[in-house]
Amino acid sequence: MLNDSDFIKTCDVPGPSKEAIRAIVLYKSDVKNDDVVVDVGCGTGGFTCEFAQRAGRVISIDTNPEAIKITKKNLKKFNIDGDVTLINNDGANALKSIDGIDIAIVGGSGRKLEEILELLDSRLNSKGRIIVTAILVDTKVEAINKLKELGYNPQIMEVNISKGRVLDRGIMMMSENPIAVITAKKR
């Protein structure tokens, strides 16, 4: 796993998703070395950098051109030479021309989550996996309801991580913001 503190960051782009979250997403995705992965809302490239080391191909999409730039910088910084395509576009547009997806990560969707999930469903291989990471309660509910409507059996895990800061007189636990990892597998 990559270290959170090693990522290049900028105030214009959220991320990276924390190490523990990336680890859970990787394990839930059951990624194989020939899988095609899309990272919708790649942000700083947290998921892109992890999957690019383990999958066959990664396609990363973000509406924010700064996110595409910083994801590219992070791939370079970590010397990741996997097959990665970076697309500066809305996921709801870009996905129309992508097919044969094994794993779809949705880390950002704006107000287009339902549209993106519908597109992903139509472009996902059988046994494909959709993983949504959501901070807003509303996004969690929307993702679950839409995935149910599309015929999936979604699972939701709320992840609360606290990390220790070692001080002179003891260890202070500092919490990170809770985030839900919603997973669904195509039959």
Residue nearest to ligand SAH (CB): 108
Q: Which of 2, 15, 31, 132 lies at the binding interface for ligand SAH (CB under 6 A)?
A: 15
**Out of 19, 26, 29, 41, the residue judged to bind ligand SAH by CB under 6 A:** 41
**Site for ligand SAH contains 37 (CB under 6 A):** no
Quick check: 142 binds ligand SAH (CB under 6 A)?
Answer: no
Q: Is 64 a binder of ligand SAH (CB under 6 A)?
A: yes
At its nearest, how many Å lie between ligand SAH and the CB of residue 168? 33
Nearer to ligand SAH, 57 or 74 (CB): 74
Enter the tokens of residue 185.
């597998």
Using left for φ > 0, alpha for ψ between -120 and 50, and beta otherwise, residue 45 falls in: left
The SS3 of residue 51 is helix
CA angle 40/63/144 to nearest 5° reads: 40
The upper half-sphere exposure of residue 127, i.e. CA atoms within 13 Å in the direction of its Cβ, equals 5
Measured from the Cβ of residue 43, the count of other Cβ atoms closer than 10 Å reads: 23
Binding site for ligand SAH (CB under 6 A): 13-17, 40-41, 43-47, 61-64, 67, 90-92, 107-110, 112
